[in-house]
Amino acid sequence: MSDPARLRRPETVYFFGTCVIDLFYPGAGLAGMELLKRQGLRVVFPPDQSCCGQPARNSGYLDEARAVALRQIAAFPNDWPVVVPSGSCAGMMKTHYPDLFEGRPEYSKAKAFSARVFELTDFLVNVLDIKLEDKGEPVRVTWHGSCHSMREMGVVDQPKSLLRQLSNVTLVENPREKECCGFGGTFAVRQPEISAAMVTDKVAAIEETGTSQVLSGDCGCLMNINGALEKAGKAIHGRHIAEFLLERTSGQGGK
């Protein structure tokens, strides 16, 4: 990667919490910020942030998406990296902001902003070169790779490499790790039957791993997978990797 921000460790980073985390998984957002803070960084959470705009863009409402995107860009004015605990929102900001503004006056602003966007686990591994010390009890977990994380952000092995640093954590490969869980934002309600079939298969694959937890870097997927796990009465629970990492490195219960 040629992003200049990768070359050196910044003193300050922005944190973009995402709208799903804001309402449903704030603990994952706090954990992400705490992990960064423990690395000696100043973490800034601009209050004017809301949503990356992906729901509107993916539904074909580009003007609406642009209006919201511009508001985000304005909320992160300084030249600091923007760390995002979601490959999907990061993908929107990194790859689709420039597309959205192509040929418009705001293009260079959008392009410059997109260059500062990092997915959280990628940032921990490739920019901070984080070293983790496991303080937790032995546990077996599996991983769900989010589609946009893998295919828009190129985040495939980074989160798993973090898990492998933890001496008491056994990472069991998920046989369908790279298959979409069926969330897809509005897809889940536009095509409820297909989405249901996909998440049912996803849950079955997770169950096959025989683990007690499924970790992911995207709370959209987790909301979908956890809802299906719970409805089916499974004992497995899905968690955001940031929360898990923070807990493991703080000792049990150290949120």
Partner 1 sequence: MSDFTQRAPIALNDPTLRRNFRRAMDGLMSKRAAQFADPAAWAALRERGAMAKARAVARLPELLEQLEAKCTANGIHVHWAETTAQANAIVLGILQKAGAKKVIKGKSMVSEEMELNHFLEGHGIKAVESDLGEYIIQLAHEAPSHIVMPCIHKNKGEIAQLFADNIDGLGYTEDVDALTAAARRVLRDEFATADAGISGVNVAVAETGTLVLVENEGNGRLSTTLPPLHIALMGIEKLAETLDDVAPLLSLLPRSATGQPITTYVNMITSPRKPGEKDGPQAVHLVLLDSGRSRVYADEQLRDTLRCIRCGACMNHCPVYTRVGGHTYKFVYPGPIGKILTPQLEGLDCAGDQPHASTLCNACVEVCPVKIPLADLLVRLRTESVHSGHSQAVKGAGSRRSLHETLSWRGWQFMYAHPWAYGLATRLMARLGNLIPAKAPLMRQWTSVRTKPKFAGKTLHELARDKGFDHE
Question: Is the CB of 119 or the CB of 152 nearer to partner 1?
Answer: 152
Q: Residue 216: which H helix or E strand, with range?
A: strand 213-216
Instruction: Name the amino acid, one letter, at 91.
Output: G
Question: Is the CB of 53 or the CB of 159 nearer to partner 1?
Answer: 53
Question: Is the CB of 53 or the CB of 136 nearer to partner 1?
Answer: 53
The per-type count for the chain, helices as H runs and strands as E runs, is 15, 8
Q: CB of 64: closest distance to partner 1 in angstroms? A: 4
Question: Is the CB of 122 or the CB of 218 nearer to partner 1?
Answer: 218
Question: Is the CB of 70 or the CB of 245 nearer to partner 1?
Answer: 70
Q: CB of 162: closest distance to partner 1 in angstroms? A: 22
Contact (CB, 8 A) for 41 and 11: yes
Q: CB of 232: closest distance to partner 1 in angstroms? A: 8
Residue 104: C-alpha distances to residues 54, 59, 65, 108, 109 (Å)? 19, 21, 14, 9, 10
Q: CB of 112: closest distance to partner 1 in angstroms? A: 19
Question: Is the CB of 183 or the CB of 244 nearer to partner 1?
Answer: 183
Q: CB of 246: closest distance to partner 1 in angstroms? A: 13
Contact (CB, 8 A) for 146 and 156: no
CA distance linking residue 184 with residue 172, whole number of Å: 25
Q: Residue 172: which H helix or E strand, with range?
A: strand 169-172
Cβ-proximal residues to 83 (8 Å cutoff; 6+ apart), any chain:
13, 14, 15, 16, 32, 36, 118, 119, 120, 123
Return the closest-CA partner of residue 118 out of 36, 26, 38: 36
Question: Is the CB of 128 or the CB of 139 nearer to partner 1?
Answer: 128
Return the closest-CA partner of residue 116 out of 219, 39, 10, 34: 10
Q: CB of 180: closest distance to partner 1 in angstroms? A: 4
Q: CB of 140: closest distance to partner 1 in angstroms? A: 24
For residue 138, what is the DSSP state? P
